[in-house]
Structure 1
Amino acid sequence: MRRVSWRRALVAVAVLAGSVVAVPDAAAGPAETGPRDESLDFRFPAADLVRVPETNTYVAVGASVPGTKLPYTKVEFAGGAFQRRGAIDGDAWEDVTFPAGYWARPDSPLWTPAMFARQEDGRVVYYVFYSAALPGPEPAGQAKHCIGYATSLHATGGFVANADPLFCPERGWAIDADVSRGQGEAWLTLRNGAWTQNRVTALGAAKLDFDRSRHVRRLSEADAKKLIDNADLEWTHHNSPPDDVLTIENPNAVRIDGEWYLFHSGNNWYANRYSTGVAYCGTALTGNRCTPMYHQRAYFSYEPDPDGEPRFRPGLPERHRKKNLPGNKRGPGAFDAFQAPDGSWWAAWNYITDASPLPHEDPSPERRSRIGRLTKTGGGATAEFTVNW
């Protein structure tokens, strides 16, 4: 499977990130001036936030950046909002332990990490799920990637990688793992390259079986159930290169008010047209296929500026998009919804920085991420989602 998006991201070492709202951090830099400001957004790719149980502290982890395999930043929830911080606090992968026969290249960058906290035997165990390259002669960004995991008793270090991959299909790559709770279970969502046909890509989910302490039963190809493909999602196809797959990726399944919704990215990561879609999955995640919402358009997109500088003019046409996100940054993707200690919903997403050039120019686009408060009104396939700064 030709994977233009993240492969190019690794070669270019593009930086995505996720951040939070309000409560300026005096040690981190100047006070936030509004959603156009990028100074306090996270500076690592694919930010995923996990709560340290029974506290107001969250740890945000992200994909590898130069010199840091698993960068992390701690943020606090206080006064009904999240702290905003642009600093990287450390590398949670720095002291990782690799067992004999480890399935991936130990030096492989980590893609799209997802951290999950779980009580086991009276203690908290942190699981980090990630994509990594298999051993072989290819450059790391071009080698086949599969999904593995590592565990630790601390969110910021001491991880021990599992010897075997969690999911590795015979054909194609497995990438973009995320973990969600719902229906009394933990669920893995992913992009499964074994389902790619005629350039069309697909996303799915599988129930996780924690069969013993600090261990998840390996998933077979039959365990993964397809949730959605992008054969009819024209916004994910718009202006895609003819030699590339039609990209749908970064699934994030959340159960809100007893119903499942699937947030996902589509189109090419390096382009302004990269956007976020939402699909309605019903009351059971894998019981039925998910239905794209809002007339199969992208739900959150960049609104092009026809009078701006050249890099701000391209984007999805109006017929393919619904609304934008705070700041109206280019290429919003890797949308990830999660709950705060008070039960409110928030979402992290990444974007192309204002200073980044047009696609295919040097240097390649840089990505950062931020978060905002996520609200839902209504229900079912006609629910309305809004993100506020």
Structure 2
Amino acid sequence: MTRPRRKLLRTLTLALILTVTAVVAPDALVGPTEAQASTGSSSFALADPSTVQAKDRTYVTYGTTVGAGAGPRCGARAGVTLYVPFLNHGSGDTVGMSHCAAGDALPSGPGSWAVDNGAIWAPGVASFNGTYYMYYTATKAGTGQKCIGLATSGGAKSPFVNRGEWACPGGGRWAIDANPFVANGKLYVAYRDDAITSYPETGISIVQVRSDGSAIWSTRRDALKSTDLKWDTENASGGTHVIENPSIFVGGEGRYYLLFSGNNWRSARYSTGIADCGTNPLPATRCKLIKDGANRPYFGYTGSGGLGPYRGLPGNHPGPGAMAVIYTEDNRRCVVWAWYNPATGKRHPIIGELKRDSNGFYVA
């Protein structure tokens, strides 16, 4: 989770054509085929991206709140805060990343349960049975505690309606960075759940939800804890051992995998790990880190200041995190993530293909 962005980074070159559908896991437990596409980055500063396909077959990428001066805008109101800004791009089988904000998916803000006119972070969106479910992070009113709210809509670009607080642990612990996904005809949510740990540790849980988006808390399972790895604290500032921004995907042979971010988001060290969660969307035991994942991230910046990841990413930008899976209409597997520009303090979305070879997963 990152803080809201207020200025635009200098324009970056991009050329991106992808065949993409909503950010949900496929119902069938089969490994997605390899996508055939290039990658590219948006020049619009948008942190914590989540991408879905709208009913009009265009594509929508949501992100963290931006201030009134953030731009450019191509449909979004000028001169106002965009609580859940979104980029609208592509159509049908062609998805090109946009450079401008097309609208605000939650113009009413985070709702009465949260700080009035407060920011929204890391909105995760999925389509399920004709409804779009948005799980977002905000600050609980009267506190500094970060919690998760729920909003729903009949369309990806229609204003979402707040449904209230979704998860807010006792003792002031945080629940943030929720990412919904569909598996076996059911809706689930993966999220950072500090309730399963004690400070300074953090954790990730997965829970099944009902058709109204509310959680079936008896199904909640621990997926990962920061005590399972070491690189989340390597050269880190601050006391919290950060793992966050989870996303679940099917990686072949009916196995579910967890993508997550770790370390300080405002640094080149922010990176992405992968863990094997087994053959059930609700893992029977905690997910197992792959490719020496306890000691190094799976994906990350390979330059100076990085953490020596197992593999780099297209563009080799610093601080790649908040990676979330997108499936194509042909069950191809892609990812959207954000990278950090240390010169401006901004994060920018980028999309690529998540492929697999004999040595594991890679993005191209």
| TM bin (shorter chain) | 0.7 to 0.9
Query: Which entry has the higher C-alpha Rg, 1 or 2?
Result: 1
**2:110·2:119 contact (CA, 8 Å) conserved in 1?**
no
Question: Once structures 1 and 2 are overlaid, which stretch shifts more, 328-337 or 177-186?
Answer: 177-186
**SS of residue matched to 1:335:** strand
- Equivalent residue letter for 1:227: A
Could you tell me how far 1:219 is from its partner in structure 2?
Answer: 4.9
Could you tell me how far 1:43 is from its partner in structure 2?
Answer: 2.4
Match in the other structure for 2:183: 182
**2:133·2:213 contact (CA, 8 Å) conserved in 1?**
no
Could you tell me how far 1:253 is from its partner in structure 2?
Answer: 0.9
Q: Please give the root-mean-square deviation of Cα atoms over the aligned residues, in Å.
A: 2.6
Give the number of equivalent residue pairs.
Answer: 324
Please state if 1:386 is matched with 2:350: no
Which residue of the other structure, out of 340, 343, 347, is the alignment partner of 2:335? 347
* Alpha-carbon distance in 2 for matches of 1:15, 1:192: 32
**SS of residue matched to 1:162:** strand
Please state if 1:125 is matched with 2:119: no
> Can you give the 5+ residue segments of structure 1 that lack an aligned partner in the other structure?
25-33, 305-312, 358-362
Could you tell me how far 1:182 is from its partner in structure 2?
Answer: 1.3
**1:52·1:58 contact (CA, 8 Å) conserved in 2?**
yes
* Alpha-carbon distance in 1 for matches of 2:82, 2:110: 16
Match in the other structure for 2:48: 46
* Alpha-carbon distance in 1 for matches of 2:92, 2:16: 9
**SS of residue matched to 2:316:** coil
Could you tell me how far 1:314 is from its partner in structure 2?
Answer: 1.9
Could you tell me how far 1:15 is from its partner in structure 2?
Answer: 8.0
**SS of residue matched to 1:228:** strand
Match in the other structure for 2:167: 167
Please state if 1:134 is matched with 2:148: no
Match in the other structure for 1:227: 223
- Equivalent residue letter for 1:131: T
Report which structure shows greater RCO (CA 8 Å, sep ≥6). 2
Match in the other structure for 2:25: none
**1:167·1:219 contact (CA, 8 Å) conserved in 2?**
no
Could you tell me how far 1:327 is from its partner in structure 2?
Answer: 0.4
Give the TM-score normalised by the residue count of structure 1.
Answer: 0.76
Which residue of the other structure, out of 250, 255, 262, is the alignment partner of 1:255? 250
Q: For residues 110-149 of structure 1, what are the alpha-carbon distances to aligned partners after superposition, in whole Å with 9 as ceiling and x for unaligned? A: 1110112222xxxx3222110111111x5xxxx1121111
Please state if 1:208 is matched with 2:209: yes
* Alpha-carbon distance in 2 for matches of 1:94, 1:155: 14
Could you tell me how far 1:58 is from its partner in structure 2?
Answer: 1.5
* Alpha-carbon distance in 2 for matches of 1:254, 1:301: 19
Could you tell me how far 1:196 is from its partner in structure 2?
Answer: 2.8
**SS of residue matched to 1:63:** coil
**1:45·1:65 contact (CA, 8 Å) conserved in 2?**
no
**2:8·2:43 contact (CA, 8 Å) conserved in 1?**
no
Match in the other structure for 1:333: 321
Match in the other structure for 2:349: 369
Tell me: CA distance 1:323–1:45, structure 2 relative to 1, closer, same or farther (3 Å): same
**1:63·1:113 contact (CA, 8 Å) conserved in 2?**
yes
Q: For residues 266-300 of structure 1, what are the alpha-carbon distances to aligned partners after superposition, in whole Å with 9 as ceiling and x for unaligned? A: 00001111100000011013222100010122111
Tell me: CA distance 1:108–1:292, structure 2 relative to 1, closer, same or farther (3 Å): same
Could you tell me how far 1:94 is from its partner in structure 2?
Answer: 2.2
Match in the other structure for 1:295: 292
Match in the other structure for 1:217: 214
Tell me: CA distance 1:94–1:20, structure 2 relative to 1, closer, same or farther (3 Å): farther
Please state if 1:68 is matched with 2:82: yes
**1:166·1:219 contact (CA, 8 Å) conserved in 2?**
no
Please state if 1:315 is matched with 2:306: yes
**SS of residue matched to 1:236:** helix
> Can you give the 5+ residue segments of structure 2 that lack an aligned partner in the other structure?
19-37, 68-80
Please state if 1:158 is matched with 2:159: yes
**2:207·2:215 contact (CA, 8 Å) conserved in 1?**
no
**2:134·2:150 contact (CA, 8 Å) conserved in 1?**
yes
* Alpha-carbon distance in 1 for matches of 2:183, 2:246: 15
Could you tell me how far 1:236 is from its partner in structure 2?
Answer: 1.0
**SS of residue matched to 2:244:** strand
Percentage of pairs with the same residue: 28
Match in the other structure for 1:89: 102
Tell me: CA distance 1:291–1:334, structure 2 relative to 1, closer, same or farther (3 Å): same
**1:175·1:190 contact (CA, 8 Å) conserved in 2?**
yes
Please state if 1:146 is matched with 2:176: no
**SS of residue matched to 1:298:** coil
* Alpha-carbon distance in 1 for matches of 2:258, 2:135: 19
